[in-house]
Amino acid sequence: MADLTYREALRQALQEEMRRDERVFVMGEDVAAYGGTYAVTKGLVDEFGEKRVKDTPIAESVIVGSAMGAAMAGLRPVAELMTVNFSLLALDQIVNHAAKLHYMFGGQIEVPMVVRTAAGWGQLGPTHSQTFENYFAYVPGLLVVAPASPRDAKGLLKAAIRDPNPVIFLEHSLLYSLKGEVPDDDFVEELGRSRVLRRGRDVTIVSYSRMAVASMIAAERLAGEGIEAEVIDLRTLRPLDMEPVLESVRRTNRAVVVEEGWRSCGMGAEIAARIYEHAFDYLDAPVARVASFEVPVAYNRSLERQTIPDEEDVIDAVRKLVKR
């Protein structure tokens, strides 16, 4: 076991996969010479050379599109979009092409491509502070992954690279420096599986990515008030593994979904709908959702902090929920 940061874990995943399979290569803005805007790819170009660690122009559509073409023709590209805010520029390539080629050509074409990108914020202004996992989770044909720990970052990235389908791999810039234990061996986490991080009898907290970490912190503090929360990290957002969530709700009878983005039409809406569909008889209260205010994120530090949820909001939501 090693104690790695989330960033280091991602780097190791890339290194190991690139060593293992010469078809794997990395491309994106500033991944080589700059060392990666979040330093995830730092050092890779020194080991693997420019052929396999490619700096691209600022052109999100062709970054994803050409990665897709390369994947179709037999390679295993890992394309990086600097932040998820810029992924909007590549949506046509992702949604109209990558997600559909296997289907619309009758199974002739495979797109084993990974698109890595990162959510995040920190007084960056409205166009640099968003999170769009629900946009991708909406689309059939895509796999959407959002790791919350260094272990999952490494294990899920390796799994994504080895999967024959297009994977949208959602990192979070505020998780990059977080440390955690990571196994030493060539381990691969399973795509499409949630994980129960904490057992509890009073409420089920469902979350992913940064908010899963916030939920764990909230759960510790709630325990001090005598509220035992069960915390589930979804890890994959498409397909959703609801079984652990439903099993949990049948015991706790109360659920709250915690996400970082806007509430309307967010992941919480889908997860709540599924809980109602499959665990209706076990609910003592409606499913609660913790999410951002539905506004663009302001620059001002305090306004931003109040807009975007944190563990305090999770604690509040749980307290309200257990009183109903």
Q: How many CB atoms lie within 10 A of CB 301?
A: 10
In this structure, what token pair is assigned to residue 69? 């073409």
Residue of the chain from 75, 88, 223, 298 that contacts another protein (CB under 8 A) = 75
Least Å distance, CB 49 to another protein, is: 12
Residue of the chain from 62, 88, 91, 223 that contacts another protein (CB under 8 A) = 62
In this structure, what token pair is assigned to residue 197? 């991080």
Say which DSSP state 306 is in: H
What does the radius of gyration of the chain's CA atoms come to, in whole angstroms? 19
**123 binds another protein, rule: CB under 8 A:** yes
Per-residue binding string, another protein, 274-293, x by CB under 8 A, is: x--xx-xxx-----------
The pairing of strands 236-238 and 143-145 is antiparallel
Residue of the chain from 19, 20, 251, 320 that contacts another protein (CB under 8 A) = 251
**107 binds another protein, rule: CB under 8 A:** yes
**154 binds another protein, rule: CB under 8 A:** no
Q: How many CB atoms lie within 10 A of CB 286?
A: 13
Tally of residues, the chain? 324
Name the residue nearer to another protein (CB basis): 120 or 266.
Answer: 120
Residue of the chain from 112, 261, 266, 268 that contacts another protein (CB under 8 A) = 112
Residues 26 and 78: beta-carbon distance below 8 Å: yes
**Residues 85 to 104 in contact with another protein, rule: CB under 8 A:** 92-93, 96-97, 101-104
**Residues 207 to 246 in contact with another protein, rule: CB under 8 A:** 210, 212-214, 216-217, 220, 233, 239-243
| Strand order through the sheet with 236-238 | 53-55, 24-28, 76-81, 114-119, 167-172, 143-145, 236-238
Tokens 């998780």 correspond to 175
Residue of the chain from 116, 195, 254, 289 that contacts another protein (CB under 8 A) = 195
Least Å distance, CB 281 to another protein, is: 4
Residue of the chain from 19, 33, 46, 122 that contacts another protein (CB under 8 A) = 122
Please tell me the distance from the alpha carbon of residue 90 to that of residue 117, in angstroms, as a whole number.
12
Active site residues: 60, 128
Q: Is 85 helix (H, G, I), strand (E, B) or coil?
A: helix
Stretch that binds another protein, among 11-19, 261-269, 288-296, 307-315 (CB under 8 A): 307-315
Give φ, ψ of 168 to 5 degrees: -95, 115
**65 binds another protein, rule: CB under 8 A:** yes
